[in-house]
Every structure is written in structure tokens, then in C-alpha cells.
Structure 1
Amino acid sequence: MASIQKRGNYWRVQIRRTGYPALSGTFDTKAEANFWAAQQEKTLSEQTPERVVQRLRDQDYALAHALDRYALDILPGKKPTTQRRDMGIIKRLKADYGEMALARIDGQMLSGMIRQWQTRLSANSIRLYLAVLSHLYNIARKEWGMVDLINPVELVRKPRLPQGRDRRLIGDEEERLLTAASAMNPELADIVIVAIETAMRQSEILGLEWRHVHWLDHTCYLPDTKNGTARIVPLSVRAEAALQRQQQRATGKDGKVWRYTNDGMRASYFKALKKAGIEGLTFHDLRHEATSRFCEKAIPMMTVQAITGHKSTQMMKRYTHISGKTLVDAVRGS
């Protein structure tokens, strides 16, 4: 039976049962004390002494220890790029909240953490932090035996993502960009063409190898993408011509298609933008441009999604912006 006594302005609860560890708690009101005592006695009647001891140990398990174990057990199974990203998140979480007990981070506390993050992180970054935390709690419950843990991420509202960028090539910007890029390095111009024609990401384009270019099928194969799944990308006549020009420049038919590194290409691309007098057009905007053009050609949505590799139709829609002329032509039958 629970012993409930008033100590000054507080109510003290003590629960002793043969074979079980002693439990105690302090509360502001007698009603709170009675409620907690009833909960604990119900738990004692349903669990073995060993399970109760384990549950008490779990309550003191620090977030830092849990994150270290997650990094050791779980991260090696993720893609290298994801490992690096998640390791950065883990280091920051440990530095800021490592001493907190894993079991004591509830929805209210996590909401406070989110408010702190919002002063320095984007909505997308915060969602990545929450994804790591949520996975950590699920792993702890399912694989580490901490069955009583409650995942606090399921109790909070995630920050809304901002509207996707709607920057597209305007007027003669494509011609000006390609002219500037060609003057700097014809290879750069062909990379831009491939981006506009295929909707491939920068990392996918620069990671492309000749063995993955299938001329007879007019496709290229991407074995390793951001989403972790391989995909086949169809090549337009224009994209294939750009790859053929690059093959003529290359010394062999093995290895990577492009000689640029990610950093080198990015720096050259921005120099070309400056020479062309174009502002506010990121390389990733070319992927949005390509995706929008596919939709303007009336290619079925699921087919476009298969080409671009977007995880969901909703995500693809977020980065697709049909031009005003296409919309007018659609309703006026031009």
C-alpha cells in the first residue's frame, strides 16, 4: 500500500512492496499524489520486480549515452552522406541536451527545444533534428528494451516547411547562361544542359559514370541517389548530345563522365551567372525548371515522379511551377 503524508507545503508518497524497489514522489496536491500512487501500484501489479528495476534504470538513461549508442549501432547502416549529416545533428544534441534523461523529455520540453532551434535553424533543419530523435526513441523502444519510453516527437507539431522556390529561367536567361558557360568551359555548358533536360540533382550529375550511360536505351542509370533508391533517367536528344560531346572530350570511356568536383562546378556556375548578368538562379533551380517543363509537356505525374526521383507527389508539386503561358494555352486551346 502507498503511504501518503503531508510534508510542509507538499505531499510525499512512498510505496513499498516485498521484492520490489521502493518508489517515492513529491507532489503539490493530495489529488496528484493519489493519482501517481494509483498508477504506480497498477504498474507494480503488472510487472515483475526485474522489469520495474529495468524501468527505473531506463528513466535515468542520459540522452548523450543514447545518442552514442545510436551512432554506433544505427549510423553505419545509413548512406555516407546521411551519416555525416546525422553525426552533426547528434553532436549538437549532445552538446545542448546530453545530460537530460531520455525518459524525461516529454512533449512540453521538446516544444521548448523547437522554439530555441527556430531562432537559428530553418524549418527543414529542425525537421531533420526531429527525425533523428524520433528514430532514436523508436530504436530504444523496439531494440534496446526500453518499452515504456514515449516518443516525444509524436506529441509535438513540426514546423511547416516554407513554400518551394518558384525561380525559373526567364526570357533569354537560358541562352545567356549557356553562352557564358561555354566561354568559360564547354563542359560546364553541357552540365547545365543535362540538368535542364533531365532534372538530375547536382550530385547525381557529377557522380555519373560512363558505365551507367546506356546509349542504345537512351538512358542513364543512377545507382545511388539522395533518396537511397536507384533510378533510370531518360535522355532527351539534347541531353544525349551533351553527353556525346563530353565523351569526345574525355580521354577514355571509363570512370566519371565529368571532370568537375562539386565545389569546382558550383564556383564556376556562379561565375557564369555573374558573366551572364543573371541573379537568384541556383543550380538546384535547374532541377525545378526541368520538372516544371516535364509537367508542361503533359507527361503523367507518376511518370515525372519516376524521372525526377521525388519521394512523393506532394514533394514534387512543391517544386513544380507551371508557366503562366502554359496555363493560358491549356484553357484557350492554343
Structure 2
Amino acid sequence: MAGVSAVYDREGEHIGWKVSVRKKGFPPQFKTFRTKADALAWAAVVESEMVRGVWRDRSESESTTLKECLARYATDVLPERKDGGRHGASFLLQWQGRPIASRYMSSIRGQDVALAIKDMEAEKKSPNTIRLHLALLSHLFTVARKEWGMENLSNPVELVRKPRLPQGRDRRLIGDEETRLLNACSKMNPEIAAVVRIAIETAMRQGEIMGMTWAMVNLPARTVMLPDTKNGTRRIVPLSTAAVEVLTKLPSRLDGKVWNYTQDGLKAMYRKAVARANIDNLTFHDLRHEATSRLFEKGFNPMEVSAITGHKTLQMLKRYTHLKAEDLAKRMG
């Protein structure tokens, strides 16, 4: 049975109503409202849920703000990610600075998330960046519901429309761009040229290439074993004759790494090489796109290509597959 009592401040002024719900088999529930009607309405809902066996304790979600949950997420969840939470940390800090962060978890609705999306669009964030922000928030609500005692929560991110992603890039090497790029790389540092050639020959991601050690490379078998890829699975990448030639010519290192450059160092050098080669709008990831397309042009089927590139679904693979029309015309006869 619900009990309602008036609440007064230190000066004796009436400021609200405290309601309590006590039912056998359930922990006592207390909450304060400004009006008696709101207090009784809340109590009626709680009692009804208890009777129907669908009640979930709201005390944790009604007393914890999103900002507090974000801080706990930073401590408990982000460090477990493969990158140590490096990328997620920036998204988390931005969520902490938004008005929604001051809201209690139980009060956050889809429209609150939708307003945050509009703010991010006004800040000129790209659709993909906004989606990454939303992915972190969505995962936080999932963790809070499953692990932090907030079983009553619904996920407000699931209720909003996500920004539409632009069509995937289909940039490929044109004309003599490959020769110009490799020449520019060679003049700066032969190792940069070697990295670019490996990217074009293997379709490996930049992080996968730069994380290579000689222990992963089996030149007699012409393979590179990637123990921990972006998708969280082990993958063995076959090496073409050209890729084997590149790796064979590299000097050995005492620390077992294949490359002297770090990933950040490579990024800077690659940008300079593209500029020196007078090539417009060619990212390092475009080389993976080029390599994947070449695999199809060599006659590999989708399943074979996915085994080489590590794409999880054929739909994901389709984004990277833009075959040259002139090559297809030759095969048509």
C-alpha cells in the first residue's frame, strides 16, 4: 500500500510530497514529487508492475546521471577495448559536455538524443562521426542495463533516426598515379614505397601493415598471419610474388618489427608523398580499395576475396568493389 506525506524545507515551507510503496517480496520504494497527484500516479504504476510481476528497480537509474555513467564507462569499459579506449575517450568527453549529461538515466528519451544529434550536425560533424558518438552512447545504456543494476532502462538511441551515411568512396588509381606515387615515396624513403606496395598487393589495412612483425611472416609459404584484426578474428593473408619480393629486400631488425616507421609517422610521410606526386584526393585506405578491386579483376570470387581482405559480409565488401568497365568489357568478348 502506498503512503504519501508532505515534505517541508528548513523554513517550514511545503515543497512537495514523498511517496512510499511497500509490498511483500519487494524492496521499499521511495520518491518525492512536487504534486500529490504525481506522487500517487507513480505509486499506482509501481504497485501495478509489482502485482503483474514486471517491476524493475528504478532507484539506480533515477539517482544516477548520464555524466556519472560516462565516468564509470571510462573506467570500467573503455580500457578493455583493443585500442585501450583511445578513440572512444574523445567521444565520451564530448558527451560529458552536452546538456543531456546532466539528466538522470531514467529520464533520457529518444527526443533528448535527437536534440544532441541536431547539435552535432550544427557543429558540422560528419554523419559517420555522429554515428560513432551514438554507438558509444548506445553501448553505455546496454552496459548500464545489464551490469549496473539499471534493468528498467530502455535504450533511447534505438528510437532515433541515424544520419544517413554518404555513398562509400570508390577512388582508384588512375593512369600513371601508381608509378608517380611510388617514385615520390622512393625519393623520400624506400620504406614508405615498400609499405605502399604491400598495401596495393595485399589489401591489408594500414594498422595491420604497420603492426607486422617478422614472426607473422612466412616467406616460404607466402603468407602473413594477423593474430588480432579489426574484426577481432585471426586472418592469414596470402602474399603475391611482388609482395614477397618487397619483404625479401627489407633489412632485418633486432626488435622483430618489419618497419621502422610508426603508424603516425607513416601517415605524415604518405600525405607528403601524395602531394609531391601531384595526386589529388587519394587516401591510404583507397589503396585497400584498389587492391580489393584488383582481386576481383583477377577472377577471385567474393568468398575468396573476403578471406583475403577480412570483410565480414558481402555487403561490406561491395562498397570496396568497383571494377574497371574496360576490363569487364574484355571478359565479355
Calculate the TM-score normalised by the size of structure 1. Answer: 0.84
For 2:201, the equivalent position in structure 1 comes to 197
What RMSD, in angstroms, separates the aligned Cα atoms of the two structures? 2.9
C-alpha offsets along residues 58-90 of structure 1, whole Å, 9 cap, x if unaligned?
2121111111222222223211x2511112211
Letter in 2 for 1:299: F
Note the C-alpha offset of 1:224.
2.8
For 1:326, the equivalent position in structure 2 comes to 327
Note the C-alpha offset of 1:165.
0.9
Calculate the TM-score normalised by the size of structure 2. Answer: 0.84
Between 1:59-68 and 1:233-242, the stretch displaced more is: 59-68
Give runs of aligned pairs for residues 1-334 of structure 1, distance below 5 A: 17-18=21-22, 20-21=28-29, 39-46=45-52, 54-79=57-82, 81=83, 83-96=85-98, 97-120=100-123, 121-246=125-250, 250-252=251-253, 255-330=256-331, 332-333=332-333
Q: Retained in 2: the 8 A contact 1:218–1:235?
A: yes
Note the C-alpha offset of 1:288.
0.6
Note the C-alpha offset of 1:304.
1.0
The whole-number CA distance in structure 2 between the counterparts of 1:190 and 1:141 is: 48
The whole-number CA distance in structure 1 between the counterparts of 2:215 and 2:244 is: 15
Note the C-alpha offset of 1:174.
1.0
The whole-number CA distance in structure 1 between the counterparts of 2:17 and 2:154 is: 24
Q: Retained in 2: the 8 A contact 1:211–1:254?
A: no
Letter in 2 for 1:273: V
- Secondary structure in 2 aligned to 1:232? strand
The whole-number CA distance in structure 2 between the counterparts of 1:286 and 1:17 is: 64
Q: Please, which runs of 5 or more residues in structure 1 have no aligned partner?
A: 4-11
The whole-number CA distance in structure 2 between the counterparts of 1:14 and 1:118 is: 41
Q: Retained in 2: the 8 A contact 1:59–1:103?
A: yes
The whole-number CA distance in structure 2 between the counterparts of 1:35 and 1:314 is: 49
For 1:8, the equivalent position in structure 2 comes to none
Note the C-alpha offset of 1:243.
0.6
Between 1:119-128 and 1:210-219, the stretch displaced more is: 119-128
Note the C-alpha offset of 1:25.
5.8
Note the C-alpha offset of 1:101.
0.9
Q: Retained in 1: the 8 A contact 2:184–2:276?
A: yes
Note the C-alpha offset of 1:17.
4.8
Letter in 1 for 2:283: T
For 2:8, the equivalent position in structure 1 comes to none
Note the C-alpha offset of 1:16.
5.8
The whole-number CA distance in structure 2 between the counterparts of 1:204 and 1:21 is: 53
Letter in 1 for 2:210: L
Q: Retained in 2: the 8 A contact 1:60–1:101?
A: yes
The whole-number CA distance in structure 2 between the counterparts of 1:251 and 1:36 is: 71
The whole-number CA distance in structure 2 between the counterparts of 1:328 and 1:36 is: 70
- Report the CA distance shift for 1:241/1:57 in structure 2 as closer, same or farther (over 3 A): closer
Matched residue count: 315
Q: Please, which runs of 5 or more residues in structure 2 have no aligned partner?
A: 4-15
C-alpha offsets along residues 165-221 of structure 1, whole Å, 9 cap, x if unaligned?
111000111112222222222222221111100011112112111111101210011
C-alpha offsets along residues 218-269 of structure 1, whole Å, 9 cap, x if unaligned?
00111232222221111000111011111xxx25475111112223222222
- Report the CA distance shift for 1:61/1:23 in structure 2 as closer, same or farther (over 3 A): closer
Between 1:144-153 and 1:274-283, the stretch displaced more is: 274-283
Same amino acid, percent of matched pairs: 49
Q: Retained in 2: the 8 A contact 1:188–1:265?
A: yes
